């Protein structure tokens, strides 16, 4: 082992450790890796920046844009609304229709936008048919993963492995993996409709857990001013008579235009303070006509009514590309910028209702917000939060649907006949989408998940370092020395098992980039065709079912469904084992384990 090999292997181990520890954002870890392998002299500067010109990140970015265009024109939402219009046919049939619809959409659209588009609709379906959201949201995420393996453009992982494969003389067509992908998808759908659904918990949403009705609920709000000479001046809010009025709750205290932090009950009121009060519609009768605040005025507390109105309470999820991630509620100043107040938060299986203003937000956090109905559209359009309510697609957007569908069909069709590589076809599709005003230029850039693109670029640089230093060959030789006498089918099973295990802990794209070359080199060292082993990595890197952190779609539904970590383990581990056995059986049938060409 040379010094360069030892250094690149040490960096690789460190990178995996950082991924698992979650001390830093995965995309930052990847970019730090690019800088480290370059400064250490393991790759040259042109080799480092060649990662930015690689087809994989360009194609992934282009597919994000095309997927967003399909979502914005309402094509995906209409599929969900069609499911909602079905007559009452029982939970199992509804689940089957949902699984099949989502898997079909995810075969040609990146699975993250599919889940984003379907989540509000699935929650509407759960309310419409009185089904617990937790019975539908994990199936939604898993179905998107199933569908992603049905074509090369179904998920970024497929595109990354296809890019790695070209370095070893292996070509993947857009439908090369469709045969196996459709079989595994149907098996996965069958599992979720039979065994899996029985393992799913039955839980209520965050809104219900903190005492609100399920879905979007209404309450009446009022803003009151503490007048000079008021009996409340100098009192602690928790001890004031105002706090004990039945049916009324103080949601916020604003002083000099700034919401006061800390527990509300400990705030000492001062004259000039603005009190934001709320009452649920069901409690109005108990408050003696909240619109006129007679129950409060009659108590002679020295309060002046400033305004009253109506607001909605809605759940929202911090998106994967959100500017809110890493910032606190106090820093975001939601009340001033979006007229929104945070009531509660769901994170990692816990429902939080205290000290929310100082807690940095993370991707996947589910927030319970109170805001005026007029403020919902601007917040939704910001793409920082996914509001879990049905979305109305403007007519102007719907009119663009034929163009979007035609562009996507052209990209897929021309790629299927190998007219041009998928990368340039997808980029041409993006240009067409923007020129025809299906998306604005700003929306085009916002559609790209730059964290995933940065992750791919950084990990490609590490893969290059592994190749140029001989680290990948050294590791492959070690595997051959250890397992060289084993049958190829056992070696295939080992690579799939390791890849799917790593995918539960770190980014699937990172696993694909690092495990792909290792699998290919090991196969070539044994004189075997590397394609079956690359297919194993491709499918294993997408088979993240046992944790909510291994795949973005799982993280999206984690908080919204009120899940706990063990819920994914209970449903996902049997599915992982089933897919493992299925892959070992099917891959040799579609791609025989024969000598290298």
Q: What is the mean pLDDT of the chain?
A: 80
Distance CA 118, CA 189 (A): 17
| pLDDT of res. 38 | 94
pTM: 0.76
Residue 276 in tokens: 């934001």
By the 8 A CB rule, do 456 and 61 touch?
Answer: no
Q: Which tens digit of pLDDT belongs to each residue from 145-171?
A: 999 999 998 888 899 999 889 888 899
What is the 3-class SS of 196-208, one letter each residue? Answer: HHHHCCCCCCHHH
Distance CA 479, CA 470 (A): 14
| pLDDT of res. 573 | 93
Task: Break the chain into its structural domains and give their ranges.
Answer: 3-204+406-590, 216-387
By the 8 A CB rule, do 583 and 500 touch?
Answer: no
Q: Which tens digit of pLDDT belongs to each residue from 122-150?
A: 877 787 777 888 898 899 999 999 999 99
Angle at Cα 273 formed by Cα 268 and Cα 279, nearest 5°? 95
By the 8 A CB rule, do 64 and 449 touch?
Answer: yes
For 93-141, give the DSSP string. Answer: HHHHHHHHHHHHHHTTS-HHHHHHHHHHHHHHHHHHTT--GGGTHHHHH
Q: Which tens digit of pLDDT belongs to each residue from 485-534?
A: 778 899 999 999 999 988 888 888 888 888 899 999 899 888 899 999 99
Q: Which tens digit of pLDDT belongs to each residue from 46-100?
A: 999 888 888 888 988 898 898 888 878 877 777 766 766 766 567 888 889 889 9
* Residue showing tokens 């079905």: 86
Distance CA 533, CA 478 (A): 17
Distance CA 275, CA 278 (A): 10
Residue 134 in tokens: 């937790």
CATH superfamily of 216-387: Regulator of K+ conductance, C-terminal domain (3.30.70.1450)
| Residue 21: how many other CB atoms lie within 10 Å | 9
């Amino acid at each position: 082992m040379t010094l360069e090999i030892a250094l690149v292997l040490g960096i690789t181990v460190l990178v995996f450790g950082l991924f698992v520890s979650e001390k830093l954002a995965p995309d930052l870890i990847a970019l730090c890796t690019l800088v480290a392998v370059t400064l250490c002299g393991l790759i040259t500067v042109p080799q480092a920046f060649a990662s930015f010109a690689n087809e994989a990140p360009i194609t992934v970015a282009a597919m994000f844009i095309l997927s967003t265009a399909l979502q914005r024109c309402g094509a995906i939402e209409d599929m969900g609304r069609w499911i909602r219009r079905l007559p009452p046919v029982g939970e199992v049939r509804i689940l089957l229709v949902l699984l099949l619809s989502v898997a079909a959409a995810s075969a040609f659209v990146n699975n993250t936008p599919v889940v984003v588009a379907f989540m509000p609709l699935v929650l509407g379906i759960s309310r419409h048919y009185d089904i617990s959201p937790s019975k539908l949201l994990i199936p939604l995420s898993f179905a998107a993963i199933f569908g992603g393996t049905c074509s090369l453009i179904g998920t970024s992982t497929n595109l990354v492995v296809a890019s790695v494969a070209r370095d070893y003389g292996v070509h993947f067509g857009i439908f090369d993996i469709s045969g196996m992908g459709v079989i595994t998808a149907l098996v996965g759908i069958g599992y979720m409709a039979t065994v899996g659904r029985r393992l799913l918990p039955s839980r209520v949403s965050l809104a219900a857990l903190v005492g609100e009705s399920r879905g979007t609920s209404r309450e009446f709000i009022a803003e009151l001013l503490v007048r000079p000479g008021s009996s409340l001046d100098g009192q602690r809010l928790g001890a004031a008579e105002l706090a004990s009025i039945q049916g009324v709750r103080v949601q916020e205290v604003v002083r000099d235009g700034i919401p006061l932090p800390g527990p509300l009950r400990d705030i000492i009121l001062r004259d000039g303070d603005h009190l934001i009060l709320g009452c649920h519609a069901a409690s109005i009768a108990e408050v003696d006509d909240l619109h006129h605040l007679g129950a409060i005025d009659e108590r002679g507390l020295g309060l002046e009514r400033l305004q009253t109105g109506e607001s909605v309470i809605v759940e929202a999820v911090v998106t994967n590309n959100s500017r809110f991630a890493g910032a606190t509620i106090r820093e975001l100043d939601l009340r001033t910028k979006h007229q929104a107040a945070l009531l509660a938060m769901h994170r990692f299986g816990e429902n939080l209702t205290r000290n929310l203003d100082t807690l940095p937000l993370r991707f996947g956090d589910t927030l319970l917000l109170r805001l005026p109905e007029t403020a919902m559209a601007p917040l939704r359009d910001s793409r920082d939060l996914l509001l879990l309510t049905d979305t109305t697609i403007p007519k102007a957007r719907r009119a663009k649907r034929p163009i979007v569908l035609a562009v996507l069909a052209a990209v897929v069709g021309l790629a299927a006949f190998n007219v041009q590589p998928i990368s340039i076809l997808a980029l041409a599709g993006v240009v067409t989408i923007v020129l025809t005003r299906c998306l604005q230029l700003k929306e085009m850039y916002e559609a790209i998940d730059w964290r995933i693109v940065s992750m791919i670029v950084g990990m490609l640089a590490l893969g290059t370092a592994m190749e140029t230093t001989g680290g990948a060959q050294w590791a492959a030789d070690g595997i051959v020395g250890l397992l060289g006498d084993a049958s190829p089918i056992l070696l295939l099973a080992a690579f799939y098992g390791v890849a799917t295990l790593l995918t539960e802990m770190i980014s699937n794209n990172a696993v694909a980039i690092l495990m792909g070359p290792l699998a290919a080199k090991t196969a070539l060292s044994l004189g075997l065709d590397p394609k079956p082993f690359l297919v194993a990595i491709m499918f294993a890197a997408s088979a993240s079912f046992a944790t909510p952190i291994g795949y973005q779609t799982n993280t999206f539904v984690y908080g919204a469904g009120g899940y706990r970590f063990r819920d994914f383990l209970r449903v996902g581990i049997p599915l992982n084992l089933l897919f493992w056995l299925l892959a070992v059986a099917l891959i040799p049938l579609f791609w025989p384990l024969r000598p290298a060409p």
